[in-house]
Chain A
């Protein structure tokens, strides 16, 4: 496998507070990496740094041969090939589903209208929402909105998908539909980084898990290592806490 993305010694401070502290990790092509940890650990900040939505203070990010932040690296172009799925969907409220999916194809990739719409139909069919083309975001449930936002990201033919707690803002009954779509992506071999508290899901799909606390990587390993033999006390406690919380909660099911 070839290294697809690498971070070296990332640090990030907000108003004097260290949010990312010396974070180094690598992501291979086709790899699915889960990022877990308590809130405030810097998980969201980390994946926002990876597509340059948040500028880093020091350290380096390599995407293949390209170093992000280089003068020669066009960040808009880089971003257009990295799909990002937000916790609260962030569908464009003034556009219907069809235009939510096609607008970046049209404006960023300068695609013809008919081509963009064909892609939109295809990606919306993939997430099971081909009948919602004309609906506005406000007319959809949270789970449907999140699936549209995944289709919107996939339409750009991303080389990497970043998920920032994609199910945290959803009703329990909507979670399954979103996870099912994500699981299909895993099966197709998409390179993904997933920030999530969905323990069972992460355990099932992640090749590798990064456990973060207070802006640092506390532990990294395969899902077996992290879930079954965590080395670190904090990791153990966190996993146990999640397991207790998840006991009895619905697993993947239809939305």
Chain B
């Protein structure tokens, strides 16, 4: 046991260095996934037929293929047509594209759950369609989908670990390097798992608090 603790202590700084990249990727992915997710949802619900079908095509394509394949296409495929990303940026791009498809579907479900009288009341008060959507419909939809959305966001935090596959030195990448150096794969992956667990637990409880704070009282 004390061997394990000493080992963990020795390699913790490297893992925490990796964790910084994990969190950096995650924050970027959450922000862009949220923005693109809403844009896709709005296009799918309110757009003209062309926009709607583009949104549906995008959503189905990204939900219908593995995220690892998407990651490789962005990192190793796109250079063939002249688009080159560093590994960390490629991971941010691929995960953002992927999660926005899922988030769009959650958001769409939330919008569908809002009673039509809410929009009618907003329009009756003189709001334009756009105002009714942005001040009444979308804020309510966001509150309705908060539990699923938090779930997706936490899932993304764990998904960042596959960025090691294109050579990003995030938490999982660091662990793998240390494993290769020390041949102590079992112990280093165990330490990495504990670090993930602690971080996930912290953010899960933060998001639980957000859910409680903004839950829609119906």
Contacts and interface: CB of A to CB of B under 8 A. Distances in A.
Co-assembled chains A and B: yes
A53 B124 contact: yes
9 contacts: A51-B124, A53-B123, A81-B126, A84-B125, A86-B121, A92-B121, A94-B136, A104-B122, A104-B126
Contacts of B127: 76, 104, 107-108
Residue picked from A76, A136, A152, most chain B C-beta under 10 Å: A76
Contacts of B120: 53, 86, 90
Contacts of A153: 125
Residue picked from A80, A82, A104, most chain B C-beta under 10 Å: A104
A149 B122 CA distance: 12
Given A82-B124, A90-B118, A108-B126, 5 more contacts: A51-B124, A84-B121, A92-B121, A92-B122, A94-B143
A92 B118 contact: yes
A86 B117 contact: yes
Interface of A: 51, 53, 76-77, 79-82, 84, 86, 88, 90-94, 103-104, 107-109, 136-139, 149, 152-153, 156
Contacts of A91: 121
B183 interface: no
Interface string B21-55: 00000000000000000000000000000000000
Nearest to B115: A90
Interface of B: 115, 117-118, 120-128, 131, 135-136, 139-140, 143, 216-218
A137 B136 CA distance: 14
Contacts of B117: 86, 88, 90
Contacts of B139: 94
A94 B128 CA distance: 19
B123 A93 contact: no
Contact of A93 (B124, B135, B216): B216
Given A86-B120, A108-B126, A138 B218 contact: yes
A86 B117 CA distance: 8
- The binding surface of chain B is classed by DSSP as helix
Given A103-B135, A138-B218, A93 B118 contact: yes
Nearest to A87: B117
Contact of B217 (A80, A82, A84, A93): A93
Residue picked from A81, A91, A94, most chain B C-beta under 10 Å: A94
Contact of B125 (A80, A88, A93, A137): A80
Contacts of A51: 124
A109 B131 CA distance: 12
B156 to A, nearest CB: 25
Contact of A108 (B131, B136, B143): B131
B125 A79 contact: yes
B124 to A, nearest CB: 4
Nearest to B117: A90
Contacts of B122: 92, 104
Contacts of A82: 124
A19 B131 CA distance: 30
A108 B217 contact: no
A149 B118 CA distance: 12
Contacts of A81: 126
A136 B217 CA distance: 7
Nearest to A96: B217
Nearest to B124: A84
A51 B121 CA distance: 12
A152 B123 CA distance: 13
Residue picked from B121, B127, B135, most chain A C-beta under 10 Å: B121
Contacts of A92: 118, 121-122, 136, 140
B135 A107 contact: yes
A107 B128 CA distance: 10
Contacts of A104: 122, 125-127
A71 B126 CA distance: 17
